[in-house]
Each structure stands twice: as structure tokens, then as C-alpha cells.
């Protein structure tokens, strides 16, 4: 049985890679081309909206291609428009399409600088108004933060992972990084606590193959900065809320 399971995982991983190449590389290039045509014919905002909607469809298709069922609880808690910040736990790279496909479609992505070397993903991030951050470069990080402040003031929706990195085992939630929620707190912008479970089983930090599974997403009510006396209380409440809902998803 173990041998059959291993063979299945290998074949499934090959299928996932083929689906990625066909959808992201081939169809993705076509989407980018169409967006430039739209920009020439109409304007850039219309072109960017088109790209963001296509990213939203791709995020959902990611789970369709991997035969993974997604269940969402609390969708009614998501505001119709920004600005607000989505704060989620981080089990896997698949948390990003989970948020973009099932929580809110119009996201501003904050990506590590390493992703800039991965076309066409980097092209999609840039084309949709996302930003790349180099954590070791203070000057560049400061510029990115100023850019994000402007985007949030203009009504953008930002996705952040306060743990800072993915869970080692794809299950256990890390402690939140200090000041990870400092920006929305200072700007008095609501934060939506989101708990995602199952993406770590689909493809965890130490995995080399994909495994179809079930993913559950719990979306809590917006947390308002003005309801808390300081950033620590604010951050602790959001962390406890995400952890509590994560445990509820597993029952």
C-alpha cells in the first residue's frame, strides 16, 4: 500500500506541474497580453481589474486542479470593499490562493523578493499592483511601507501572515511577529482574522510532493484598532481569535 501511495503522489505531482504550466505559463501569458491591449484601448485601472479577476479565478482553479475541496465559514464577515487587512495563519504556499480565491478577490500581494525571479508569477504580482519586499534592506522596506500606506488609503485590501513564515510541520501555528500588525493599527484600519486549515497537508514546508485533501477556511468579524488601548492587546486578540477558530475547524 505504501508503494502504491507513493506512486500516486508522484503521478499527482506531475499532473499538478503540468496543470501549472498550461494554466499559469501559457494561459497566463495570454491574460497579460490581453491586459496590455485593454490598457491601450481603455485605461490602466480597467486592465489591472481584469488581471486581478483572472488571478481570483486562478486561485480557485488551483484547488480544482489539485482535487481539493474547500469549505468556507463566515464569508458574510468580509466587507464589500476596502480598505482592510486580512491576517491569516500560514501553513503552506497554498494559503495565498486560498485567501485570493475564497476570502476576497481584489488583494494587494506582498511578496518576497525571491518571487521576482519566477515569471510569470512575478509579472502577475507587478501587473496587479503588488509589491516585492526585501526584508534585509531597510531602505527598500521603508519605500514599500510608504507604498502600502498609499494603497490602503486608496481602499486596497492587503493580505499578511503575522507568523512571518510557514509552519514547519504544516499544522502548528507560530507566534505572531512583533509589530506585524503595526501598520493597520496605526492607520485605524480593520483586520479580518482568517484561519486556514488543510493547506499544510496539501503541500507543506518540507513536502516534495502534492497530496489532495480538504481545506477549511474560517473568517471572523473585523477587529477594529480603536477598540484596543495598545498594539500588543490588539495583536494578541487577533492571534487568539485565529488560533481558536483553527482549533474549531479541526473538531
Residue 159 confidence (pLDDT): 92
**Phi, then psi, of 109 in degrees rounded to 5:** -85, 135
Higher-confidence residue of 126 and 181: namely 181
Q: Residue 147 pLDDT more than 80?
A: yes
H or E segment at 196?
Answer: strand 191-197
Q: What is the pLDDT of residues 54-94, one digit of tens each?
A: 999 989 998 998 999 999 999 999 999 999 999 999 999 89
∠ CA(154), CA(158), CA(161), 5° rounding?
Answer: 160
Q: What is the pLDDT of residues 6-20, one digit of tens each?
A: 887 888 788 888 887
Residue 42 confidence (pLDDT): 94
In 3D space, the residue among 24, 51, 21, 22 whose CA is nearest the CA of residue 35 turns out to be 51
Residue 118 confidence (pLDDT): 66
pTM over 0.85: yes
In 3D space, the residue among 155, 152, 109 whose CA is nearest the CA of residue 132 turns out to be 109
- Confirm if 196 and 202 have CB atoms less than 8 A apart: no
Residue 5 confidence (pLDDT): 77
Q: What CATH code is carried by the domain that includes residue 228?
A: 3.40.1130
Q: Residue 120 pLDDT more than 70?
A: no
Tell how strand 214-219 and strand 191-197 pair up: antiparallel
Domain total for the chain? 1
Q: What is the mean pLDDT of the chain?
A: 89
Q: Tell me how far apart the alpha carbons of residues 1 and 67 are, in angstroms, rounded to a whole number.
A: 21
- The number of residues in the chain equals 251
Q: Tell me how far apart the alpha carbons of residues 193 and 87 are, in angstroms, rounded to a whole number.
A: 5
* Region for 13 from its dihedrals, namely left if φ exceeds 0, alpha if ψ lies in -120 to 50, beta otherwise: alpha
Q: Residue 196 pLDDT more than 70?
A: yes
Q: Tell me how far apart the alpha carbons of residues 47 and 126 are, in angstroms, rounded to a whole number.
A: 12
Q: pLDDT category, 53, cuts 50, 70, 90? A: very high
Q: Which domain holds residue 132?
A: 2-250
Q: Tell me how far apart the alpha carbons of residues 162 and 49 are, in angstroms, rounded to a whole number.
A: 27
**Phi, then psi, of 82 in degrees rounded to 5:** -85, 180
Kindly state the percentage of the chain with pLDDT values over 70: 98
Residue 119 confidence (pLDDT): 67
Q: What is the pLDDT of residues 206-245, one digit of tens each?
A: 888 888 899 999 999 999 999 999 999 999 999 999 999 9
User: Mean per-residue pLDDT for 10-34?
Assistant: 84
Amino acid at each position: 500500500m505504501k508503494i502504491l501511495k507513493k506512486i500516486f503522489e508522484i503521478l499527482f505531482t506531475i499532473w499538478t506541474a503540468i496543470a501549472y504550466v498550461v494554466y499559469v505559463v501559457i494561459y497566463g501569458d495570454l491574460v497579460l497580453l490581453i491586459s496590455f491591449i485593454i490598457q491601450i484601448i481603455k485605461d490602466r485601472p480597467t486592465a489591472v481589474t481584469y488581471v486581478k479577476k483572472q488571478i481570483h479565478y486562478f486561485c480557485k482553479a488551483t484547488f480544482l486542479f489539485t482535487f481539493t475541496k474547500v469549505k468556507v465559514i463566515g464569508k458574510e464577515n468580509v466587507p464589500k470593499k476596502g480598505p482592510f487587512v486580512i491576517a491569516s495563519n500560514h501553513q503552506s504556499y497554498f494559503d495565498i490562493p486560498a485567501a485570493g480565491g475564497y476570502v476576497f478577490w481584489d488583494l494587494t500581494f506582498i511578496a518576497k523578493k525571491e518571487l521576482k525571479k519566477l515569471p510569470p508569477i512575478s509579472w502577475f504580482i507587478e501587473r496587479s499592483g503588488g509589491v516585492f519586499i526585501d526584508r534585509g534592506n531597510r531602505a527598500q522596506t521603508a519605500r514599500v511601507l510608504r507604498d502600502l500606506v498609499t494603497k490602503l488609503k486608496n481602499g486596497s485590501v492587503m493580505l499578511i501572515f503575522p507568523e512571518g513564515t510557514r509552519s514547519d510541520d504544516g499544522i502548528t501555528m507560530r507566534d505572531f511577529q512583533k509589530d506585524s500588525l503595526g501598520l493597520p493599527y496605526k492607520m485605524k484600519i480593520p483586520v479580518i482574522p482568517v484561519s486556514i486549515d488543510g493547506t499544510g497537508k496539501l503541500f507543506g514546508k518540507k513536502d516534495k510532493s502534492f497530496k489532495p485533501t480538504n481545506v477549511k477556511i474560517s473568517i471572523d468579524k473585523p477587529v477594529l484598532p480603536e477598540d484596543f488601548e495598545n498594539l500588543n492587546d490588539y495583536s494578541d486578540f487577533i492571534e487568539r481569535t485565529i488560533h481558536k477558530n483553527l482549533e474549531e475547524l479541526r473538531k
